[in-house]
Chains A and B, each alone.
Chain A
Amino acid sequence: MSDIFKPEVDRRTLLRRAAAVGLLATPAVSMLSACVGGGDDSDDKADKPSGTVSATNPLGVKEDEPLEIVIFNGGLGTKYATDVDIPSYNKLFPNSKVAFSQTEEIATVVQPRFTGGNPPDMINNSGSKLMDQGALVQAGQVQDLTELFAAPSLDITGKTVKDTLIPGTVEQGTFNGKPYVLNYAFTVFGLWYSGKLFKDNGWTAPTTWADFLTLLDAMKAKGITPYGYAGANAPYYQYTVILASAAKIGGADILKNIDNLEPNAWNNDAVKQAAAAWAEVGAKYSDKSFLGLKHTEVQLKQDQYKVGFYPSGSWLENEQAKDTPAGFDYQLAPLPSVTTADKLPATALYAAAGEQYFVASKGKNPKGGMEFMRHMLSKAGAVGFTQLTKTLTVVSGATDGMEISPGLTSGNKALVAAGADTFSFRFDTWYKKLDDELRAATNELMFQGGTADKFVTRMQKAADAVKADSSIEKFSR
């Protein structure tokens, strides 16, 4: 009897046989592994499509070769690409079909295509999910843009593309001597406030630290949180102002030394003084609960007149356009001088070309990608971008004399006042690890009872660790 009911396959044999079937699937494994480690670098520029070089086609783009671009959809939107740059490109190359796509997560969408060997031609590498640009350059995936910068400008006659740019733009995208990246948007960074709030209360933007603290006291008395940034996801904004203060105290070389991972670049009196000054603001004039808030939440509070000063870049006005009440009047104040002996004047400003665009060297149409950038860098392209995004471009003086928005005008004024005294840093994109450490250290300094000494010691240690790590490619400027 029992034999009849004995299962033909007991559990153990079933498992054993399943394992055998699993072996059948092994070829699939080796096929998959082939996508990493199986490729080779045979792709060289010689077999890239090219057309005849002429006055209207200085880069020698092949007229009917399709072009693929990917734009990050963030604070700047994508309208400037679809409504300004693509039509401009297609006017010159009507037979080149432009495939446009946009994403909020650049790395998720684009990175697998680099690994797979079929990258898009031009990419806007930006947003919180951006790809590590240094690693891309290191892997030989990025097109050298020397040709583009030497080409004549599209609509500014008699000048090369490079001549039309704000000085320092090409350098900002240079990695170890070669220009690989176009930083297109020009950003000024400082303390933003409501012109209306200040006018109603008879306040003016401070230039000295003493005036700054007096003003913060006055705001506090009014029941406004005088100063705030979002600890949950935007400590980056706060560390930019701390380092900008340090640069004002000790000169722009402070930032250069930090970028170059010089010994004791952080262990420096200027950095320490700046950290101490901001730690006091954090302890006395901010709200500890901001550590748990996101940037949109704090920015909304400012739009509701509940926060006095907010540190940010010039994209703020456009980002908040939807939530800003009428008459709010965004204004930018450069950082007040911390000491009376600051090396740089009070008008000195953190200003930098930002928002990275690059061409894939191993894409199908690298020349077309560079040509697309030439259209972005035309005067018409720059004006269109600024009108749509309320953000300046690196095309020098493209929108001079145009009234676009109060925040943009205010930022422009600050930039003119700063003259040659602008500065910036680049370690945050070069060494993402250092950026993360600085975010945590900044939150500790501002909200969690940290001290300036602890701050600089911690950062020095992190910078030294990055320097000693041979797996991280080093850059210098």
Chain B
Amino acid sequence: MKHGRYPFIIGFLIVPVAIYGTFVIAAYVQAFQLSFTNWRGFSPNVDYIGFDNFTKLFHDSTFWKAIQHHVLLLIFLPLLTIILALFFAFLLNVGGGSKGGRTQGVRGSKFYRVIFFFPQLLALALVAVIFSRVYSPDESGLINGLLQQFGAGPVLFLADSHLALWSILAVLVWQGVGFYVVLFSAGMGSIPTEIYEAAALDGATRSTLFFKITLPLLWSTLQVAWVYLGIAAFDAFALVNVMSVDRGGPDGATTVLGLEIYRNAFDYAQFGYASAMGVVLFFLTLTFAALTLRVTRRDTVEL
């Protein structure tokens, strides 16, 4: 088998790696290159200005505001999504108790599984447009239209600077939960039923089952989910761009790095500065992923 192995492997890899190299690696390399220039996007020539862009970035209050929003998203997006997804996945798989020696989900769990996955099938831009209607501040909005029936005043979800980011976070969670329900369901499905049965024989309650068996055995799946969601929290560009008032407003209350990069590159034609932001975002995401994997490392139970 050793004979001809390299041509074989290279033959498989050459196309995907070339595509990846061109559209991902090269783009990154170029962003690093441009972050040291004052390129404005209209000329083939660039001037190198050293670390000026990074110094400027350090003193940019909008940049720090965006970072704050990422921190908030980083804490609450994974937390809320994982808690909800775990809860639903548990109900779908184990929540119905055991019948005939087999654990099963609540009634209609197959149907719910499909429903939960629906949001995942919608393009993010669609989700944003739909929720703009849900949150609309006048009587045409889904929520405010209902509230008005009961005589309650309109809630300015996206126009109130204290509520806006939370409103967008809620959409991110809504959109993400379905995928993680499926992910966790798969994880739970691979936990042998004998363990549950044994525990049930010993008189374990549902919550004991969940905390003492499901959770520890799902740990590596949870870890992956946390990293995915953390990276999603560094994005959030599409929703903020479409939904928020005055793009990232009101008054910068919802802005994120992705939006600031876009704004600086395509509105202000400061491509060099925008690339510097991109470089910072690259390192932030990388650091986060490495940290998460390190901090959450613990002995996984081999089945």
Measured CB to CB, the nearest residue on chain B to A18 is B13
Q: Can you give 25 A-B contacts (C-beta < 8 A)?
A: A18-B13, A21-B17, A22-B21, A24-B14, A32-B27, A33-B29, A33-B33, A36-B34, A37-B33, A111-B42, A114-B42, A115-B41, A132-B269, A231-B159, A232-B245, A287-B138, A288-B156, A289-B144, A292-B156, A292-B157, A297-B140, A432-B268, A440-B250, A448-B250, A471-B270
* Chain B positions 272 through 303: 1 when the CB is less than 8 Å from some CB of chain A, otherwise 0: 01000000000000000000000000000000
What is the minimal beta-carbon distance from B240 to any residue of chain A, in angstroms?
A: 13
Interface locus among A88-96, A134-142, A191-199: A134-142
Interface locus among B43-51, B82-90, B191-199: B43-51
Across the interface, do A433 and B44 meet the contact criterion of CB distance under 8 Å? no
What is the minimal beta-carbon distance from A131 to any residue of chain B, in angstroms?
A: 7
Across the interface, do A17 and B9 meet the contact criterion of CB distance under 8 Å? yes
Task: Give the contacts of B225-262 with A (CB-CB under 8 A).
Answer: 245-247, 249-252
Given the interface contacts A36-B34, A40-B45, A41-B45, does A443 sit within 8 Å of B18 by beta carbon? no
Q: Which of A28, A140, A290, A436 contacts B43 (CB 8 A)?
A: A140
Across the interface, do A29 and B44 meet the contact criterion of CB distance under 8 Å? no
Q: Does B224 contact A (CB under 8 A)?
A: no
Across the interface, do A291 and B251 meet the contact criterion of CB distance under 8 Å? no
A-B contacts besides A25-B21, A292-B157, 16 pairs, CB < 8 Å: A8-B1, A22-B17, A36-B34, A37-B33, A111-B41, A115-B41, A115-B42, A115-B44, A117-B44, A132-B268, A135-B40, A232-B159, A289-B156, A289-B159, A297-B138, A443-B246
Q: How far is the CA of A427 from the CA of B161 in the complex (A)?
A: 27
Task: Give the contacts of A1-53 with B (CB-CB under 8 A).
Answer: 8-9, 17-18, 21-22, 24-26, 28-29, 32-33, 35-41
Please give, as numbers and ranges, the residues of chain B lying within 8 Å of A131 by CB-CB distance: 42, 269
Q: Which of B22, B40, B154 contacts A32 (CB 8 A)?
A: B22
Please give, as numbers and ranges, the residues of chain A lying within 8 Å of B27 by CB-CB distance: 32
Q: How far is the CA of A432 from the CA of B41 in the complex (A)?
A: 15
Q: Does B158 contact A (CB under 8 A)?
A: yes
Task: Give the contacts of B42-63 with A (CB-CB under 8 A).
Answer: 42-46
Q: How far is the CA of A35 from the CA of B39 in the complex (A)?
A: 13
Please give, as numbers and ranges, the residues of chain A lying within 8 Å of B30 by CB-CB distance: 32-33, 36
Q: Does B202 contact A (CB under 8 A)?
A: no
Q: Does A166 contact B (CB under 8 A)?
A: no
Q: Does B5 contact A (CB under 8 A)?
A: yes
* Chain B positions 135 through 165: 1 when the CB is less than 8 Å from some CB of chain A, otherwise 0: 1111010001000000000101111010000
Please give, as numbers and ranges, the residues of chain A lying within 8 Å of B267 by CB-CB distance: 132, 432, 436
Q: Does A129 contact B (CB under 8 A)?
A: yes
Interface of A is mostly: helix
Across the interface, do B154 and A289 meet the contact criterion of CB distance under 8 Å? yes
Across the interface, do B25 and A29 meet the contact criterion of CB distance under 8 Å? yes
A interface residue count range (under 10 / 10 to 19 / 20 to 34 / 35 or more): 35 or more
Across the interface, do A37 and B46 meet the contact criterion of CB distance under 8 Å? yes
Q: How far is the CA of A323 from the CA of B5 in the complex (A)?
A: 68
Q: How far is the CA of A448 from the CA of B136 in the complex (A)?
A: 18
Q: How far is the CA of A331 from the CA of B38 in the complex (A)?
A: 47
What is the minimal beta-carbon distance from A146 to any residue of chain B, in angstroms?
A: 21
Interface of B is mostly: loop
Measured CB to CB, the nearest residue on chain A to B245 is A232
What is the minimal beta-carbon distance from A55 to any residue of chain B, in angstroms?
A: 36
* Chain A positions 96 through 131: 1 when the CB is less than 8 Å from some CB of chain B, otherwise 0: 000000000001000100110100000000000101
Q: Which of B22, B26, B136, B269 contacts A292 (CB 8 A)?
A: B136
Across the interface, do B158 and A292 meet the contact criterion of CB distance under 8 Å? yes
Across the interface, do A440 and B42 meet the contact criterion of CB distance under 8 Å? no
Would you list the 5 A-B pairs with minimal beta carbon distance, nearest first?
A: A39-B44, A25-B21, A289-B137, A292-B159, A139-B42
Q: How far is the CA of A292 from the CA of B13 in the complex (A)?
A: 50
Q: Does B266 contact A (CB under 8 A)?
A: yes
Q: Does A76 contact B (CB under 8 A)?
A: no
Please give, as numbers and ranges, the residues of chain B lying within 8 Å of A290 by CB-CB distance: 137
Q: Does A444 contact B (CB under 8 A)?
A: yes
Q: Which of A18, A39, A40, A440 contacts B251 (CB 8 A)?
A: A440
Across the interface, do A25 and B17 meet the contact criterion of CB distance under 8 Å? yes
Q: How far is the CA of A29 from the CA of B19 in the complex (A)?
A: 11
What is the minimal beta-carbon distance from B157 to any residue of chain A, in angstroms?
A: 7
Q: How far is the CA of A26 from the CA of B13 in the complex (A)?
A: 14
Q: Does A272 contact B (CB under 8 A)?
A: no
Given the interface contacts A22-B21, A448-B251, does A139 sit within 8 Å of B33 by beta carbon? no
* Chain B positions 70 through 108: 1 when the CB is less than 8 Å from some CB of chain A, otherwise 0: 000000000000000000000000000000000000000
Measured CB to CB, the nearest residue on chain B to A448 is B250
Q: Does A313 contact B (CB under 8 A)?
A: no
Given the interface contacts A288-B159, A432-B267, does A21 sit within 8 Å of B13 by beta carbon? yes
Q: Which of B25, B157, B247 contacts A22 (CB 8 A)?
A: B25
Q: Which of B13, B39, B140, B273 has the most CB of A within 10 A?
A: B13
Q: Does A407 contact B (CB under 8 A)?
A: no
Q: Which of B10, B37, B43, B273 contacts A139 (CB 8 A)?
A: B43
Across the interface, do A231 and B245 meet the contact criterion of CB distance under 8 Å? yes
Measured CB to CB, the nearest residue on chain B to A112 is B41
Measured CB to CB, the nearest residue on chain B to A440 is B251
